[in-house]
Each structure stands twice: as C-alpha cells, then as structure tokens.
C-alpha cells in the first residue's frame, strides 16, 4: 500500500477491561492501582493465576506530588550515604546541599511516574477524515538507564496511519516524555510509546523508531563514544505491509 500524500512535522480511549473489571489504558487504571499478584507457594498440581503474569510495559507505576514531598528527606539521606561511601565529606561547603539537589533532580528525571496517558490526551483526539501517514520526527528524548542510573538521550520518530481520528501533534511528544522520564530500557520505551498511541487512537498502524546514546556504554564499561542504539516497534499495517514500513523509514531519514 503506497500513499501519495504525507503529513510530516519536525519537533525542536480505547479502554479494555481488566480481569477485575477496572478500565485500563496502556496499563493505566482508573481508580485503584493494579499490581501483579504475588504468587503463593504452589500446591502440587496447582496453577498460577494468569493475572499475575503481566509484561512490564503494562504495569501501572504512578507517583503523586505528595509522594515526592514525603520521600524527599529519605532520598536526600540516601545520597548523603552515597557521598560518604565514595569517601567524600557531605559536610564540606560544596556538598552541603548536594543530597537535596540530587534527590530533587532524580524526582524530576523520573517525573513520568506522576503522569497518566489518559490525563495527557484528555480532549486532544479529533474526528478527522484523514487516512494518510502522519509523522512527527526528531522528538528529543531524555531517560535514565534502569541498570546503572545514568542518562539515555536521543531522538524519537513516530508515524501512524489515522483511522478517522487524529491526535494533537504535541501529544505525541508528551507521550514520549511520560515514558522516557522513568527508569527505562530502550526496548521497552519504544514499545510503550507505540502501544499508547494504538490504544488511544485505534489507527490503521503505528511505527516508532528510537535512536539513543547510552551513557552506560559511553562513560563506563566498553566506553564506545560514538555508539548509538536503534530500536523500533511496528504495529498494524506498519508491521504487515513492507511498502508502508519502507515509506515510514524513508521519510524519517529524509
């Protein structure tokens, strides 16, 4: 399937029913937070509840502003312990406020836990008789490697084929921000973005490509300064039709 027209921009609900009847949008539940069930030791012949098996990108993980205020002292105390463990003196002038600064910064780096996709999209989904490819590329992305707690940064390219509904363009960048501002691995981040758009719009297809530099590979470990990691998730016609997929990949590199 080829498309003669494209809409491109460069940047500088479908609700399912959960097993207990709660509404879910890409893992974000209205009301009580859903956690994976803790399985008790199994009796011979017993089966684990399937509801306890959830992929990590579907888990609800939220944090409120009140949680931030309550946890800030303990986070700052933890950074004080880290400074001492590194052989530093937390009482010297240059480090007196460092634990609080670091704790506040870490809360900002992970502020995606405080937001829900359903709140961000609100009334930004519009009925529109448009069925040609929409692409927003070069969306800046900053995240934190969940293995080493060091930065991941790069660009995200998003494309979708509308199915009578379109999303406000800035909301695509907001979706990236919500999922990137968490402790992440790039593979999961890429999939979360694609699934969120699919659940919100029910488009014909979605494609997401993430190109990123991982500081855990640059400033430690193998120390490869110019290495980049590229991940992609293709859903719907982007996965099924090679011509549509190739069109998307060609356009994000133009």
Active site residues: 145-148, 186, 214, 216
CB 9 within 8 A of CB 135: yes
Strand residues in the chain grouped as ranges (E): 6-10, 16-17, 23-25, 28-29, 125-127, 133-145, 151-161, 165-167, 183-184, 205-214, 229-236
Helices 169-180 and 186-201, interaxial angle, to 10°?
Answer: 140
Please give the backbone phi and psi of residue 122, each rounded to the nearest 5 degrees, phi first. 25, -110
Token pair in block for residue 213: 């530099």
Q: CA dist 175 to 120, 121, 164, Å?
A: 8, 9, 20
Q: How far apart are CA 110 and CA 68, in angstroms?
A: 11
Give the CA radius of gyration of the chain: 21
Token pair in block for residue 246: 């190739």
| Three-state secondary-structure class, residue 252 | helix
Strand residues in 23-98 grouped as ranges (E): 23-25, 28-29
Q: CA dist 19 to 29, 34, 51, 55, 108, Å?
A: 12, 10, 7, 15, 33
């Amino acid at each position: 399937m080829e498309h003669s027209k494209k809409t491109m921009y460069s940047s500088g609900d479908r609700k399912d029913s959960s097993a207990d009847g709660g509404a879910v949008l890409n893992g974000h539940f209205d009301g009580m937070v859903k956690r994976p069930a803790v399985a008790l030791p199994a009796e011979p012949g017993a089966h684990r509840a399937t509801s306890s098996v959830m992929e990590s990108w579907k888990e609800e993980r939220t944090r409120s502003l009140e949680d931030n205020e309550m946890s800030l002292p303990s986070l700052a105390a933890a950074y004080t312990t880290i400074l001492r463990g590194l052989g530093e003196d937390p009482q010297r002038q240059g480090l007196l406020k460092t634990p609080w600064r670091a704790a506040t910064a870490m809360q900002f780096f992970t502020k995606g836990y405080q937001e829900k996709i359903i709140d961000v999209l609100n009334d930004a989904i519009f009925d529109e008789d448009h069925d040609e490819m929409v692409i927003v590329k070069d969306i800046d992305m900053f995240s934190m490697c969940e293995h080493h707690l060091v930065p991941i940064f790069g660009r995200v390219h998003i494309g979708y084929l509308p199915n009578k509904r379109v999303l406000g363009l800035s909301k695509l960048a907001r979706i990236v921000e919500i999922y990137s501002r968490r402790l992440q691995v790039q593979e999961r981040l890429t999939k979360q973005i694609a699934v969120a758009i699919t659940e919100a719009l029910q488009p014909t297809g979605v494609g997401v490509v993430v190109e990123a530099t991982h500081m855990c590979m640059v400033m430690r470990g193998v120390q490869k300064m110019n290495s980049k990691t590229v991940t992609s998730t293709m859903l719907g016609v982007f996965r099924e039709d090679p011509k549509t997929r190739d069109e998307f990949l060609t356009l994000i590199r133009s």
